[in-house]
Amino acid sequence: MKKLSNKYPTINDYTGQVPHPRRMEGGRRLITDYQKKSSPDRPLVSIITIVYNGEKHLETAIQSVLNQSYKNIEYLIIDGQSTDRTIEIIKKYEAALDYWLSEPDRGISDAFNKGIAKASGDIIGLLNADDWLSLNQIEMGVEGLKEQSIDFIYGNLAFHDDEKIQKFIIKGDPEYRRIIESRMPDLCHPTVLVKRRAYQRVGLFRVDFHYAMDYEWLLRFHQMGGQGKYLPEILGHMQLSGRSDQSFGAALKEVRTAAILHGQSCWLAHLLFLYRVIKGKIRRQLEKRGMIKLLNWLWKKVNRNYLPTEL
């Protein structure tokens, strides 16, 4: 396993970056003097969508933000210089976007970090282009974050097939603190809203993590005393088609790396890694064979947060 640095990027690191020569940008920030602000009873929430060649699902993500019941939202899109119709779709909604940016990046973490550095909200949410929000997610999240001691909220995530048919739900883990230092808890980032102060305190995402950057960040924040609150509602939605065996395996390796980096013993991290690999292979084989009832029964036994739609 390669040796990793303990230096984490900060908001200041990104605000001081020189723009890429091929950068394109737009949105209401650049064409008017209009700047959204927080008020005591209506904090500004920044939602950041990152995308690369996401023409298939991007509009669903955009519409889920623009149609939120909560209205004091700053919406930013960070594109990795897509080569499909992504920019065309972004420009279609430009009048409703506060800011968008398109330039080459160093991966998901880098794109998230660019968005956070550009955001001005007191609360920040991150959304991939093939995910979408429940229409009252932000309103519920803002209410949950009124407690001064709470740094972030999270909830349940619904998974859908290509026809947007819901297949199963992963509940957020109310007891994530008990397990986070040994494994990635069910704390799914499309459901998460974080107070800006958390990023100011603990730093941004490591760009040397490409899949489990959210776990490494949460583990780092947890060890610094960060506090999350579970909301027992479906707050986010995710496409099943985005998963692959390759990315699944790479994500597990990064979870192992993050756990060791933050104090877990190597032998335990390797043992848990092997267990997750075997469990994942069993699941994929059952999915390929269409053994859905057996899969649902088995997964309910090994993951108490798994709620199948098909029984």
Nearest CA to 56 out of 89, 10, 93, 91 is that of 89
Structural domain includes residue 237: yes
Q: HEC states along 97-134?
A: CCEEEECCCCCHHHHHHHHHHHCCCCEEEEEECCEEEC
Residue whose C-alpha is closest to residue 102's, from 87, 91, 116, 117: 87
Query: What pTM was estimated for this model as a whole?
Result: 0.87
| Residue 276, in any domain of the structure | no
Residue 72: partners with Cβ closer than 8 Å, 6 or more residues away: 36, 38, 39, 42, 43, 44, 45
Where do we find the tokens 């149609």?
Answer: 67
Range of the domain at 184: 11-242
Is residue 171 a part of any domain in this protein? Answer: yes
Task: Please report whether residue 256 resides in a domain.
Answer: no
CB 240 within 8 A of CB 194: no
Per-residue pLDDT of the chain (311 residues; tens, 9 = 90+): 445 556 789 999 999 888 899 999 999 998 877 778 898 899 999 999 999 999 999 999 999 999 999 999 999 999 999 999 999 999 999 999 999 999 999 999 999 999 999 999 999 999 999 999 999 999 999 999 999 999 999 999 998 888 888 888 889 999 888 888 777 788 888 999 999 999 999 999 999 999 889 989 999 999 999 999 999 999 999 987 655 445 766 777 888 888 777 776 554 555 555 555 556 556 666 666 666 666 565 555 556 666 676 54
Residue 265 lies in a domain: no
CATH number (domain holding residue 27) = 3.90.550.10
How many domains does one find in the chain? 1
